[in-house]
Amino acid sequence: MKRAQDTGQVMEEERVNGREMFAAMSRQEKTAWLLLAAFGLSAGLVGWRLFFSDAALGKNVVYPAWYLFWVGYFFFIRKDRTVAADERDRIIQAHGVRAGYAALALMLVVVSVLAEGYGEFVASRTGYWLANFLVWLVCLSVSLHAAVMVWHYWRDRR
């Protein structure tokens, strides 16, 4: 038996506006988007300040991202009274966690191997710079974790 797509009898796709799409998202999917936005912004801000900015690192580098995360949590996630996670959400979460931890482990191994060859560069940096560098690696890891989750949810929607 031929499918409708094969015979040319394809239904037109309905355009979904943003509110309908947001309402159709599960609680875990909303959390994944929020994590991607907040930690992606954090990784960008910290990375910019570490490598491209001449200004000294301050304690307020990631505050905008934390504000975005908490405001998003209180206005979008906390009000959502749907089921926290089902089997599909747990599987997607496991894929994201696996990718995030693997990326963090790989980044730490690469940095530790490269640090030996760049001893003068590492010695010229302050402890605060090195701590922010590790925070940057963690932000990249969480961003990848969230991006994998978002990708899985997007793929399931298709």
* Token pair belonging to 95: 């894929």
For position 8, what pLDDT does the model report?
A: 56
Q: By the 8 A CB rule, do 27 and 80 touch?
A: yes
Q: Where are the domains of the chain?
A: 26-157
Q: By the 8 A CB rule, do 38 and 68 touch?
A: yes
Q: Give mean pLDDT, residues 73-92.
A: 74
* 0.85 exceeded by pTM: no
> What number of H helices and E strands is found in the chain?
6, 0
Q: By the 8 A CB rule, do 17 and 106 touch?
A: no
Q: Give mean pLDDT, residues 15-29.
A: 69
Give the DSSP per-residue string, 99-131.
Answer: HHHHHHHHHHHHHHHHHHHTHHHHHHS-HHHHH
Considering only 20-24, 88-92, 123-127, 148-152, which range has the smallest mean pLDDT?
A: 20-24
